[in-house]
Structures are given as structure tokens and as C-alpha cells.
């Protein structure tokens, strides 16, 4: 369950992206950040969401936004996802769930009566000072970039 609120300081994190590069919230200081958490690379809904962000990437960049995706997949799987769909943004491999847990998006889920641990699809819009300005608990996957831009207004 997401326990962070809009106005909270975003929890510090660091991880490794699809290219083996270290990335942290501190390294993004001074930039607006869309930190989006998703369950799994190359699955239908996750692909729709990623491709919407890809298709609107230049608009997000014009607004000064850095896009960072996080899932429990490893860097190699992220690299394949990036290549297959020509994704122009960073994907952090959080196989230990450390970042997912800090942001409260690793939680119990249920499907067809079966309970399991998984990622709650959630996006955080973080400002240049590291403050959470907007939390999208149920992102509109086909129009996610548009709702992010609207939240800036």
C-alpha cells in the first residue's frame, strides 16, 4: 500500500539501469522526474504504458521531465524491452525490491482468488527539489503522458 503523500520528500534511491549504469534520485536533482513503477517488461499493459511514454517523450522533455521506470526485472530483461520497443528512457532493475518497498508499491495483490506479492502500478511526479508533487495510483496507461502533463498545469 502506497503510504507516501503528495508534498512528501521523495525517498532517496539508487539502482542500476538497463545499460549497467548507476542512477540515483540525487543524480536527478534539479530535474522534474516521472518515477513510474510497473510489474513486468514486455507484458500487454506495461508495454502500452511504456509506449505511451515513448510516443510522448519529446513533449515530456520539453516540460523538463526525466522519465525513469522501475520494475523487479533484471537489467538484461530491461535491455531487451528497451530494444524491442525503442524506449528512450531509463529502466531501473530492482530485483531486490528495495526501491519498490521504499515507495510502498511492493504489496500483496490478488488475482482469481490467488494472493501474491507484486508491484502496484504507480507513478510519482517529483519536482526539482525532490518533493512528490503528484501520485498516480491508477495511471491511464494509454494516456499516461497526457495526464502527467496535465498535472503540471
For residue 93, what is its C-alpha cell?
Answer: 532493475
Paired residues of 136 in beta bridges: 123
Paired residues of 69 in beta bridges: 36, 91
Phi, psi of 80 (to 5 degrees): -65, -40
- Residue whose C-alpha is closest to residue 106's, from 96, 114, 69, 140: 96
- Please tell me what DSSP assigns to residue 142: G
Which helix (H) or strand (E) segment is 5 a member of?
none
- Residue whose C-alpha is closest to residue 121's, from 10, 46, 43: 46
Residues assigned a catalytic role:
46
For residue 97, what is its C-alpha cell?
Answer: 525490491
Phi, psi of 11 (to 5 degrees): -60, 135
Amino acid at each position: 500500500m502506497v503510504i507516501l503523500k503528495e508534498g512528501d520528500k521523495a525517498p532517496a534511491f539508487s539502482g542500476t539501469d538497463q545499460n549497467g549504469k548507476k542512477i540515483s534520485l540525487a543524480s536527478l536533482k534539479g530535474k522534474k522526474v516521472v518515477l513510474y513503477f510497473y510489474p513486468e517488461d514486455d507484458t500487454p499493459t506495461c508495454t502500452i504504458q511504456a509506449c505511451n511514454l515513448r510516443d510522448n517523450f519529446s513533449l515530456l522533455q520539453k516540460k523538463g521531465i526525466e522519465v525513469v521506470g522501475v520494475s523487479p526485472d533484471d537489467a538484461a530483461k530491461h535491455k531487451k524491452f528497451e530494444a524491442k520497443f525503442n524506449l528512450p528512457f531509463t529502466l531501473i532493475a530492482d530485483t531486490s525490491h528495495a526501491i519498490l518497498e521504499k515507495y510502498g508499491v511492493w504489496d500483496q495483490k490478488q488475482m482469481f482468488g490467488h494472493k501474491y506479492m507484486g508491484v502496484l502500478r504507480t507513478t510519482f511526479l517529483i519536482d526539482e527539489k525532490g518533493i512528490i508533487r503528484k501520485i498516480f495510483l491508477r495511471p491511464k496507461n494509454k494516456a499516461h503522458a497526457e495526464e502527467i502533463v496535465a498535472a503540471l498545469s
